[in-house]
Homo-oligomer: A and B are copies of this chain.
């Protein structure tokens, strides 16, 4: 199994390689890709080893070939189907963001309890009432990802609903831990927590340098 940290870096490598490819560069060394991405050359080589890709000691890695290898690994052929629950300010911002992520991501539908927010199209995505959830999701056989942008008290119930639609991955923007069955992977993106963490570390750093 490829470590999740390696996956993160491979996604970053892909975007840097694209840039270099457009600039006409043909080959790249591990230390160059390391420099660009902010990791060591050893890290880069180890990541590529983890996914079974080889370069050569003369030129390093062939950029276009490595690019298509990483794409093959990361990008499913039919795109990633996503549903979103909670069409508040953050939910709407994410919907607008998904419009720019086509065709890799396909946002299927948004859901909300508030009748004011439902039965409209926001940034190209139709918003349904949560009461129509099963009707709508049954029309889409394989939805992979669920985005949770509901208030904290509704998060667990909303998550359960998304899981009932068959998602195997959840991104939870609410500040509560949600319980999920074994087969569902959850990533927590608690913004308030992150902001506070950064504030703390930055403050600690400043104090340290003042000594």
Contacts and interface: CB of A to CB of B under 8 A. Distances in A.
Given A97-B192, A171-B198, 4 more contacts: A11-B196, A15-B175, A145-B195, A145-B198
Interface of A: 1-2, 4, 7-8, 11-12, 15, 36-38, 74, 76, 80, 82, 89-90, 92-94, 96-97, 101, 104-105, 123, 144-145, 147, 167-171, 175-177, 183-185, 187, 189, 191-206, 208-209
Given A8-B193, A191-B94, A197-B7, A177 B74 contact: no
B168 A205 contact: yes
Given A89-B96, A90-B93, A189 B189 contact: yes
A94 B97 CA distance: 14
B168 A206 contact: yes
Contacts of A184: 202
Q: Chain A's interface: helix, strand, loop or mixed, by majority?
A: helix
Query: What is the copy number of this chain in the assembly?
Result: 2
A104 B196 contact: yes
B194 A187 contact: yes
A203 B12 contact: no
Given A197-B8, A201-B169, A206 B183 contact: yes
A177 B90 contact: no
A7 to B, nearest CB: 5
Contacts of A197: 4, 7-8, 11, 187
**Smallest CB-CB A-B distances: 9 pairs:** A169-B202, A93-B93, A168-B202, A89-B96, A169-B198, A89-B93, A90-B93, A80-B199, A185-B202
